[in-house]
A and B are shown apart, each in its own frame.
Chain A
Amino acid sequence: MTMSIRGLALSALWGTTALAGAANADCGIAAGKVSIIGNDFPAVHTVADAAAACGTGTVGVKTNLTKDHEKLNAPGMTANPAEYSAAIISSSSLVTLMSAGLVRPLDDLIAAHGADIPRNQMVTIDGKVMAVAFMANAQHMFYRKDLLDAAGVAPPKTYEELLAAAGKVRDGGTASPFCSTYGVGWNLGQEFVNMYLGMGGAFFKPGTAEPAINNEKGVAALEMMKALSGYMNPDFLTFDSNAVTAEWEAGNCAIATLWGSRAGVLMDGKESAPGVAENTMAVATPSAGGSSFPATTLWWDGWSIATNVSDEDAAASFLAMKAGIAPSILTPDTMGQAVWMIEGYQPTPAAQGVAESIAGGAPSYPMEPYMGAMHMAADGNIADFLTGKEDAATALADIEAAYTAAAKEGGFLK
């Protein structure tokens, strides 16, 4: 989800288009072409592989799984016929595709072929099913049991407690006890979204694209982020998920907020320093500013079918994707890859953080069509506050001004 040139370089190496494997499964597809684009992480591979197994002599299934899927899916689905007939997407990329009219409502296909898809997996917008979700993700808290025990603090339930706990752990000799993805580029904006929504803030005046963040909740969210940054490695403005993962595995962090999809890696102990993995606990994100729910946003991953493909290809893609998220894909090997929203899922310890954040009532990531512009405006204007160049109110005014210019250009504001 982060964008970087390194990702681009790696995807050029790994993300090449692959033809379907040899294993065939009867997915009930008579004929048609299926072409799937999606992100490149293990859970998506599991889904895409199961969908690709539908390939037969008359049914061609292609997959392109790459970190840069969000740059490719819209252009690839704009052509008619579309290059990609199905897209594996997350909360925010559905909005982009839908705003451009590139994904079709699935109600007809569900009526014809999908009666067995559980209702709670369907993403419904204005009464029309636009996507089918298969997994959940969120940034949540990780903590090192040994370090917190040694400092004599309980796992924090609020960010205010987290500051106190980080202070005690630092006194015990861990120089930068708190780690989080505060890198500029996308992540820093996401951290602000989490903290501001977590404090009960709203980004827009209801029903409009008018920004509404320059208020005391916005100031409180920024002040909390600055207080947290005091317990981070001084390079925090360059930290993305990979950097935080490496810091955690090296044993430099006592508490972190990081994506749930990284929990498996942090807890498997394959690349961790001794004693780190077995003491790694994944729990709900703390709440902030007196709220009763975790200060994080929930994301889902799911799939949609392109508008610009023939009905035959759309049906074939629907059936292949349905096979891709069938309960049979859950094996002991794949169970720990994600917090699956598929029948038969048994949560592993690595899933606890996401599960607790959902149960705690964290909000889902905003789906307004202009949220992307707000996210990037926040991302570009918070660093000046965190480095002490300006105060919180100025930073918030800058975010609103940058957003307003972008939203006017995009046609969302007059």
Chain B
Amino acid sequence: MKHKTFLWFILPSAVAMLLFIALPVVSVLLQSVFAPHEQVIREVEKCDVFGCKKSTTVDVEATAALSEGAPLGRFVGTAIYTDRNHLALSEIGAIWSSSKGPGDFLDQIFNLPFYGALAFTLTYTALVTPFAILLGFCIALAVNAIPRLLRGPAIFFSLLPMIVTPLVGALILFWMVDARGILGVALQSLAGDPDLSVKASTPLMWAMLIVYGVWSSCPFAFVVYYAGLQTVPQDTLESAMIDGATRWQRLRYVIIPHLLPLTTFLVLIKIMDNFRVFEPIVSFNGGAHAQSLSYFIYADLTATNKLLSSAAATSVLTILGVIVLLSPVIVRTRRSFARAAS
């Protein structure tokens, strides 16, 4: 393709990426190093229908005078990033010098909101990504093996978890695992413990969120692998069969290598998706047991005292987290491309 043609071809998506990805990231970065101006507080008397009492109020005029000419707020540098609700650097220092041992140190670290959320987010990403891809692959193999007549309905049912709105899908599971729901009661009788409640236990809540994550994201892997299976070269398969390759050997030495680029693609996409885990925690009302970075952003933005800078800092940390997680996969892919080119 000529350079000029290529330029015109890529221009619309480049503009869209600039407008909808690059600019918002810059704006979030900017927001995260500025905080609201100092609020001038005054003591006043407040009277409502229930009586009068001393309270405080923001002196709107004095605060407006402070913010004159600086609409972005006051520059705080990395102060938001390092405060207790984010990276908590000074708190970690204090815990380091006061902790009674490695177990106590970790306990105290995970009690800090950012690290507690990071622990769940990383566990979720580390478990959901491989299991969802593996399950998707198995479903794709199974669907590919059944008679053509039944494939349509099989594909439809396999895709259902993806078609159902995440919120609705999570709510259905939430009700099913309720202490009086069908799965909840089944678990109780299996465990022989009538007081067992998935929603009340942190490990079970994590397990449920991860099961939901695998269930809702395996169809994507299935679709990608199913499409990939249609492109497996038939002559290679046939020659493998003539050479006496078993079904397992064909899978291991022909199909899986052929689908490897797709796996890289799936790992990239799924890591990005899973690191941003959010909806299930909200639909499961799981905030008491599991938090994620996205959940914090949501909480900051919906609170009565909105914390825009905090939400922005968490967003930047999320982006950094995704970059760190993706870098090994990207480096690997680049290397293999370089090898193929040389």
Residues of A within 8 A of B (CB): 3-6, 9, 70-71, 91-93, 95-96, 98-101, 120-127, 133, 136, 183-185, 188, 206-209, 233-238, 240, 298, 300, 341, 358, 362-364, 366-373, 375-376, 380, 383-384, 386-387, 389-390, 394, 398, 401-402, 404-406, 408-412, 414
**Distance from A230 Cβ to chain B, minimum over Cβ atoms (Å):** 12
CA distance A364 to B283 in the complex (A): 31
CA distance A383 to B307 in the complex (A): 22
- What residue of chain B has the Cβ atom nearest to residue A204's Cβ? B56
Other CB < 8 Å A-B pairs besides A125-B57, A406-B307, 18 of them?
Answer: A6-B283, A124-B48, A125-B44, A125-B46, A206-B54, A234-B197, A235-B178, A298-B50, A367-B46, A369-B41, A373-B304, A380-B113, A384-B111, A386-B288, A402-B84, A409-B35, A409-B36, A411-B39
What are 21 pairs between A and B in contact, CB < 8 Å? A93-B304, A95-B304, A99-B57, A120-B49, A123-B47, A125-B44, A125-B47, A207-B56, A234-B195, A238-B284, A238-B285, A369-B41, A369-B56, A373-B305, A380-B299, A387-B289, A401-B91, A405-B84, A408-B83, A411-B39, A412-B39
Task: Say whether A5 contacts B167, CB under 8 Å.
Answer: yes
B234 at the interface (CB under 8 A from A): no
**Distance from A238 Cβ to chain B, minimum over Cβ atoms (Å):** 4
**Distance from B76 Cβ to chain A, minimum over Cβ atoms (Å):** 8
B155 at the interface (CB under 8 A from A): no
Q: Mark B21-50, 1 if CB is under 8 A from A, else 0.
A: 000000000000001111101111111111
CA distance A370 to B64 in the complex (A): 17
In-complex Cβ contact of A406 among B38, B50, B310 (8 A): B310
Which B254-290 residues sit within 8 Å CB-CB of chain A?
279, 282-289
Q: Which residues of B contact A375 (CB under 8 A)?
A: 304
Q: Which residues of A contact B36 (CB under 8 A)?
A: 409-411
Q: Choose among A9, A127, A367, A375 the residue with the greatest number of B CB atoms under 10 Å from its CB.
A: A367
**Distance from A398 Cβ to chain B, minimum over Cβ atoms (Å):** 7
Q: Which residues of B contact A95 (CB under 8 A)?
A: 57, 304
CA distance A209 to B56 in the complex (A): 9
Q: Which residues of B contact A70 (CB under 8 A)?
A: 304
Q: Which residues of B contact A5 (CB under 8 A)?
A: 167, 279, 282-283
CA distance A98 to B310 in the complex (A): 22
B146 at the interface (CB under 8 A from A): no
B236 at the interface (CB under 8 A from A): no
- Given A364-B48, A409-B310, A410-B307 in contact, is the A207-B60 Cβ separation under 8 Å? no
Task: Say whether B47 contacts A124, CB under 8 Å.
Answer: yes
Q: Which residues of B contact A404 (CB under 8 A)?
A: 84
Q: Which residues of B contact A384 (CB under 8 A)?
A: 111
B55 at the interface (CB under 8 A from A): yes
Residues of B within 8 A of A (CB): 35-39, 41-58, 60, 64, 74, 76, 80, 83-85, 91, 111, 113, 167, 171, 178-179, 195, 197, 199-200, 202, 279, 282-289, 299, 302-305, 307, 309-310
Task: Say whether B41 contacts A235, CB under 8 Å.
Answer: no
Task: Say whether A99 contacts B178, CB under 8 Å.
Answer: no
Q: Which residues of B contact A341 (CB under 8 A)?
A: 49
CA distance A132 to B35 in the complex (A): 33
- Given A92-B304, A405-B84 in contact, is the A184-B39 Cβ separation under 8 Å? no
- Given A373-B303, A376-B299 in contact, is the A406-B85 Cβ separation under 8 Å? yes
- What residue of chain B has the Cβ atom nearest to residue A100's Cβ? B60
Task: Say whether A369 contacts B58, CB under 8 Å.
Answer: yes
CA distance A408 to B200 in the complex (A): 34
- What residue of chain B has the Cβ atom nearest to residue A127's Cβ? B45
Count A-B pairs with CB separation below 8 Å: 189
CA distance A204 to B178 in the complex (A): 39
**Distance from A118 Cβ to chain B, minimum over Cβ atoms (Å):** 10
Q: Which residues of B contact A373 (CB under 8 A)?
A: 303-305, 307
Task: Say whether B288 contacts A237, CB under 8 Å.
Answer: yes
Task: Say whether B57 contacts A369, CB under 8 Å.
Answer: yes
- Interface residues of B, dominant DSSP: mixed
In-complex Cβ contact of A411 among B35, B54, B85 (8 A): B35
Task: Say whether B200 contacts A235, CB under 8 Å.
Answer: yes
**Distance from A376 Cβ to chain B, minimum over Cβ atoms (Å):** 5
In-complex Cβ contact of B282 among A4, A367, A372, A401 (8 A): A4
CA distance A387 to B43 in the complex (A): 38
- What residue of chain A has the Cβ atom nearest to residue B73's Cβ? A411
Q: Which residues of A contact B49 (CB under 8 A)?
A: 120-121, 123, 133, 136, 300, 341
CA distance A184 to B199 in the complex (A): 12
Task: Say whether B48 contacts A123, CB under 8 Å.
Answer: yes
CA distance A408 to B111 in the complex (A): 21
Q: Which residues of A contact B64 (CB under 8 A)?
A: 101
- What residue of chain B has the Cβ atom nearest to residue A238's Cβ? B285
**Distance from A194 Cβ to chain B, minimum over Cβ atoms (Å):** 15
Task: Say whether A405 contacts B284, CB under 8 Å.
Answer: no
In-complex Cβ contact of B44 among A126, A238, A387, A408 (8 A): A126
CA distance A291 to B245 in the complex (A): 82
**Distance from B94 Cβ to chain A, minimum over Cβ atoms (Å):** 11
Q: Which residues of B contact A206 (CB under 8 A)?
A: 54
- What residue of chain A has the Cβ atom nearest to residue B178's Cβ? A235
3 closest A-B pairs by CB? A372-B304, A383-B288, A238-B285
Task: Say whether A185 contacts B303, CB under 8 Å.
Answer: no
Q: Which residues of B contact A185 (CB under 8 A)?
A: 285, 287
CA distance A5 to B199 in the complex (A): 18
**Distance from A294 Cβ to chain B, minimum over Cβ atoms (Å):** 12
- What residue of chain A has the Cβ atom nearest to residue B43's Cβ? A207
- Given A234-B200, A411-B39 in contact, is the A402-B85 Cβ separation under 8 Å? yes
Q: Choose among B49, B76, B200 the residue with the greatest number of A CB atoms under 10 Å from its CB.
A: B49
**Distance from B179 Cβ to chain A, minimum over Cβ atoms (Å):** 6
**Distance from A74 Cβ to chain B, minimum over Cβ atoms (Å):** 8
**Distance from A405 Cβ to chain B, minimum over Cβ atoms (Å):** 4
Task: Say whether A410 contacts B84, CB under 8 Å.
Answer: no
**Distance from A341 Cβ to chain B, minimum over Cβ atoms (Å):** 5
Q: Which residues of A contact B283 (CB under 8 A)?
A: 5-6
**Distance from A246 Cβ to chain B, minimum over Cβ atoms (Å):** 11
Q: Which residues of A contact B57 (CB under 8 A)?
A: 95, 98-99, 125-126, 367, 369
CA distance A6 to B166 in the complex (A): 12
Q: Which residues of A contact B45 (CB under 8 A)?
A: 124-127
Task: Say whether B41 contacts A208, CB under 8 Å.
Answer: yes
- Given A364-B48, A402-B84 in contact, is the A240-B285 Cβ separation under 8 Å? yes
Task: Say whether A101 contacts B60, CB under 8 Å.
Answer: yes
- What residue of chain B has the Cβ atom nearest to residue A236's Cβ? B200
- What residue of chain B has the Cβ atom nearest to residue A237's Cβ? B288
